[in-house]
Amino acid sequence: MLAHLNIRKSTVGAVAAFALAVSGSAYSAPKTVLVVGDSLSAEYGLARGSGWVALLERKLQTEKLDARIVNASISGDTTSGGRSRLPALLAQHKPSVVVLELGANDGLRGLPIPSAEDNLRAMIRLAQENKAKVLLVGIHMPPNYGRNYTDRFTGMYKELSADLKVPLVPYMLQGVELVPTNFQADRMHPLATAHPVILNNIWPQLAPLIKN
């Protein structure tokens, strides 16, 4: 009987130790930050490692934050493309934080704003349903698209942020757009020298999501 009790205690102890090890491993696992964007996040026209997402990786290391970055940005992508890709990305990477930087190509193509808003809304909700925090990154349209369109486009991000309770970077190119020498020859995509400014625009809203 005593031998039986000893075996049972040993088994219970082993199970408890295993559970503790698994729990500790899960607790110490790094967070995953998933960036779903377009050319502004995909290093279009830049040397690899010089865009704001790569700079973010280095900043996390400098600040000793245990998080890994998955950059799923594609040049030319629209909100529709991002919406179609997101379910598989969430299933594969199981991110703690999702950064949505989409909409510029919808606007430049003059696509309907309600459609873009619906796509972004669906993406935010899907990420939230998968237990991820969301950061929405906004962009502005050039004035030649007309005041009505540009105002509605900017308002789209603000409305989504308020409705779905997600933090917003109102304009990722703040402080970049008024200096022509910040841009590549196409006058649309920032040079590598402007990407630290972009990261500085995004970091104040992103940092709390990673740290908490």
Task: Find the catalytic residue in 38, 39, 41, 73.
Answer: 39
Question: Of the ranges 12-16, 112-116, 132-136, which one carries the lowest mean pLDDT score?
Answer: 12-16
Instruction: Go through the domains of the chain in sequence order and give each one's CATH number.
Output: 30-211 (3.40.50.1110)
Kindly report, residue by residue over 86-103, the tens digit of the pLDDT.
Answer: 999 999 999 999 999 999
**What are the tokens at 97?**
């934080």
Kindly report, residue by residue over 156-185, the tens digit of the pLDDT.
Answer: 999 999 999 999 999 999 999 989 999 999
Task: Find the catalytic residue in 77, 106, 140, 189.
Answer: 189
Q: What are phi and psi of 112, to 5 degrees?
A: -60, 130
Asked if residue 27 has pLDDT above 70, the reply is no
Percentage of the residues of the chain whose pLDDT score is greater than 70: 87
pLDDT at residue 29, rounded to an integer: 76
Task: Find the catalytic residue in 4, 25, 28, 186.
Answer: 186
| Residue whose pair of structure tokens reads 């500085």 in the numeric block | 200
pLDDT at residue 212, rounded to an integer: 87
Kindly report, residue by residue over 126-144, the tens digit of the pLDDT.
Answer: 999 999 999 999 999 988 8
**pTM score, whole prediction:** 0.86
186 is catalytic: yes
Which strands make up the sheet holding 31-37, listed edge to edge?
67-71, 31-37, 97-101, 133-137, 168-169
What confidence tier does 28 reach under pLDDT thresholds 50, 70, 90?
A: low
